[in-house]
């Protein structure tokens, strides 16, 4: 039996002398693993289909719960990402988070869409903000969302505030005097609010760095999992 899926390569691991095992995020079947044969040989026809971040239509042979790639037709390679070290690290973090937040044979077309849009945004420009936006959307989709809205205690508009607090448990922001949570800067809040599609002041490089650090801790707390790629991307920018 063969199945056709639109898929993004999240991870490619060597298997044997010439083969690889791919972790694919598909629009139709969620996350799945598939073997792909002979792609480490020079001139292999399907070599492109085992590259990081490849977006393609894959034909998979299915035997029980095991899949093998038999054909592929590339849609996008995201080649620019592989030519820029910062974009590569950001995209790797995106793929790692997408893999952790999805499950085998559990369709998540929205996560697939968010991942593809995130990679496109990274190719087009600011990989830091693209990663922040993806993480915000992916966490929300997985039930771990935060809200960069008004103070959750007094209801005050927080735009323009210099010092705020963030409650890791509830994922909400408060005025500095209202809460007892994690201290954050106003620039961090502005970036996370922009990631939700609600601009609030200037987006600064320092704000993006701080927002990534906050998201790293929030992600780890909510998922009980450290995103190594995110830490590596943060370290690269320091």
Each residue's pLDDT tens digit, 70-95 = 999 999 989 899 899 999 999 999 99
Distances (CA, A) of 89 to 117, 122, 146, 148: 16, 11, 24, 26
Q: What gap in Å lies between CA 115 and CA 109, rounded to an integer?
A: 10
The C-alpha angle 139, 124, 114, rounded to 5 degrees, equals: 25
Structure tokens, 78: 């995201």
Q: What is the predicted pLDDT for the residue at 235?
A: 96
- Residues of the chain above pLDDT 90, percent: 85
Q: What is the predicted pLDDT for the residue at 104?
A: 87
Residue 63 clears pLDDT 90, i.e. is over it: no
Name the 3-class secondary structure at 159.
coil
Q: What is the predicted pLDDT for the residue at 65?
A: 80
Residue 128 clears pLDDT 90, i.e. is over it: yes
Matching CATH number, 84-236, of 1.10.1060.10, 1.20.1440.120, 3.40.190.10, 3.40.50.2000 = 1.20.1440.120
- Number of continuous H segments (helices) and E segments (strands) in the chain: 7, 8
Q: What gap in Å lies between CA 44 and CA 230, rounded to an integer?
A: 32
Which residues make Cβ contacts (< 8 Å) with residue 16, sequence separation at least 6?
Answer: none
Q: What is the predicted pLDDT for the residue at 85?
A: 96
Please report which confidence band the pLDDT of residue 122 belongs to, taking 50, 70 and 90 as the band edges.
very high
Q: Return the H-helix or E-strand segment holding 14.
A: strand 2-15
Q: What gap in Å lies between CA 158 and CA 174, rounded to an integer?
A: 8
Classify domain 2-77 at the CATH superfamily level.
Nucleic acid-binding proteins (2.40.50.140)
Q: What is the predicted pLDDT for the residue at 237?
A: 86
Residue 135 clears pLDDT 90, i.e. is over it: yes
User: Can you tell me which residue has the tokens 């691991």?
Assistant: 13
pTM recorded for the entire structure: 0.94
Domain ranges of the chain: 2-77, 84-236
Residue 199 clears pLDDT 90, i.e. is over it: no
């Amino acid at each position: 039996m063969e199945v056709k899926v639109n898929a993004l390569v999240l991870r490619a691991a060597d298997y044997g002398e010439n083969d690889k095992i791919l972790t694919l995020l598909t629009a139709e079947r969620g996350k799945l693993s598939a073997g792909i044969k002979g792609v480490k040989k020079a001139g292999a026809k399907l070599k492109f289909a085992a590259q990081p971040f490849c977006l393609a239509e894959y034909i998979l042979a299915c035997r029980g719960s095991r899949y093998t790639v038999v054909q592929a037709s590339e849609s996008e390679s995201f080649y620019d990402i592989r030519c820029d070290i910062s974009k590569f690290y950001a995209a790797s973090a995106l793929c790692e988070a997408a893999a952790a937040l999805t499950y085998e044979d559990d369709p998540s077309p929205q996560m697939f869409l968010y991942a593809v849009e995130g990679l496109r945004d990274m190719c087009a420009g600011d990989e830091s903000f693209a990663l922040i936006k993806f993480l915000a959307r992916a966490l929300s989709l997985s039930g771990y969302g935060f809200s960069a809205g008004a103070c959750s205690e007094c209801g005050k508009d927080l735009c323009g505030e210099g010092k705020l607090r963030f409650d890791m448990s509830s994922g909400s922001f408060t005025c500095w005097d209202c809460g007892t949570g994690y201290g954050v800067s106003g620039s961090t809040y502005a970036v996370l609010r922009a990631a939700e599609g609600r601009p609030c002041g200037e987006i600064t490089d320092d704000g993006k760095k701080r927002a990534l650090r906050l998201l790293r801790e929030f992600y780890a707390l909510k998922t009980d999992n450290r995103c190594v790629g995110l830490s590596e991307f943060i370290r690269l920018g320091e």
